[in-house]
Amino acid sequence: MDGPEDLIVLTGPTCSGKTGLALLLAQRFPIEVVSADSMQVYRRMDIATAKPTPDQLSLLPHHLIDVVDPDEEFQAAMFVQQASEAIRQVRARGRIPLVVGGTGLYIRALLYGLAPAPARSEAIRAALRTLLHHKGISYLEAMLSRLDPASASAIAKNDAVRVVRALEIIFQSGRRASDFFASHGFERPLYRARIACIMPERERLFADIDRRTLDMVDAGLLDETRLLLGLGYGPHLRSMQTLAYRHVICHLQGDLGLDDCIRLIQRDTRRFAKRQVTWMKAREDHVFFDSATAAFDAVCGWLRGQPGE
């Protein structure tokens, strides 16, 4: 059949139960997961990213996990290329690809393509990185907030890579990055997708986040961070600036007590989840469920009749 191919997507904020639901679905359907998680792409970053365990991976194959080292860049364009190829290969084996993850930018880029923003300018990028080194990320974030408030609000705090890219677009083209996305429109899908979004009630989601943070510490989060630092992956890396690692590094350096470290990880993860919820609630193509259990029957119905079933 001509036109977009069918694709099923399972999304939701962090700690909403996506992995558990995918494992339940794997008991009934020949699925393989194409991960849409911007942190689980990094090797050796397992506990802090809530990566599926080896036992879970043995039960359900996952793609786009452990594909780059923590000091390597991984961008939306790379995700689209690798995810599209993984989808093709899964289907070639007669199985069903299921896209699972909470990185909304990756999912939107996969379904609708990337906006035609200007190519990289190494000269502008070098100048911005010099500013970053001398004045810090807060300075660049404030600059972006003045020049492109829409982009600034959509970028997570301390995400230097995306802040630099948004400013680079402005200085290279004279247009805001948000204008490129707006003009793209994202109206012609590359896939005909059904998107199940698990959206738990906020108090329950936040309580689950707090519990999972404690579980991560018990599972060896501090040792994982020590190992990464020992391998030369320094605090300046984007991958090491996200959520848990940033505060654990402060604790290991003696600048933060363990209780405060845990509290700040919980706080920042809740804030991250709130940003994800805001992004997802604005998506008209999502079908919302208040729990993984509530989504199960609907997604089973979508999977029935898929090629490979």
Domains in the chain: ranges and CATH: 5-113+186-303 (3.40.50.300), 122-184 (1.10.20.140)
pLDDT of residue 180: 75
pLDDT of residue 252: 97
- Cα distance between residue 103 and residue 14, in whole Å: 9
Q: Are strands 31-35 and 96-100 parallel, antiparallel or unpaired?
A: parallel
> Rounded to two decimals, what is the model's pTM?
0.83
- Cα distance between residue 287 and residue 293, in whole Å: 14
Mean pLDDT, contiguous 10-residue spans, the chain (309 residues): 77 97 98 97 97 96 98 92 97 97 93 79 91 92 93 81 90 85 64 96 98 98 98 93 92 97 97 92 94 97 85
Residue type, 149: P
Using the CB atoms, write b or e for 190-203: b if 16+ within 10 Å: ebebbbbbbbbeee
Specify the 3-state DSSP secondary structure of 171. Answer: helix
pLDDT of residue 118: 76
pLDDT of residue 183: 58
Specify the 3-state DSSP secondary structure of 188. Answer: coil
Cα distance between the two ends of the chain: 18
- Cα distance between residue 18 and residue 199, in whole Å: 10
